[in-house]
Structure 1
Amino acid sequence: MAKKQEAAPAKNTPSHGVFLVEGEGDRAFWTKIGCAWQHGDGEGFNVALSALPISGRLVIRSKKEER
């Protein structure tokens, strides 16, 4: 019987999530609209959005802190 291999971590996995946040405080509504990849030198990000917001604000959070 062949050994089952564990899946290797995906390359180029996004390091951050991009969210549209509307409202303030406990009443804020968060919608995930994309992902971000930190540059190797730590000086910036590549961002891919699946929607373009016309209101609210964009928040970029590290994956471990996603809501």
Structure 2
Amino acid sequence: MSNDKIKKPTHNVPTHHVYVTKAGADDKTFWSRIGGAWEHKDGKGLFIRLDTLPIDGQIVIRKAKPAEMAGAA
């Protein structure tokens, strides 16, 4: 796929948040937000922008709450 076919998000507010999760003491899981994701117009994929790259842990993408997406349309 060529880069000219990749469309960047049309708004600045992500539809999803990207986190890295790590297991800590006492089976607690720590979540750190590392970026955002925007749903494609056809709803079949995500455009992901990371502010940092994790070196361990798991990457989790969660849908943003409606209040967090206010003005995203």
TM-score bin, normalised by smaller chain: 0.7 to 0.9
Equivalent position of 1:20 in the other structure: 20
Unmatched tracts of structure 2, length 5 or more? 1-9, 67-73
Q: How many residues align?
A: 55
Q: Structure 2: which amino acid aligns with 1:52?
A: L
Query: In structure 2, how many angstroms separate the alpha carbons of the residues matched to 1:30 and 1:23?
Result: 9
Deviation at 1:46, TM superposition (A): 0.4
Equivalent position of 1:6 in the other structure: none
| TM-score for both structures, normalised by structure 1 | 0.73
Unmatched tracts of structure 1, length 5 or more? 1-10
SS of 1:33's partner is strand
User: Percentage identity across aligned positions?
Assistant: 43
Equivalent position of 2:41 in the other structure: 40
| TM-score for both structures, normalised by structure 2 | 0.68
Q: Structure 1: which amino acid aligns with 2:42?
A: D
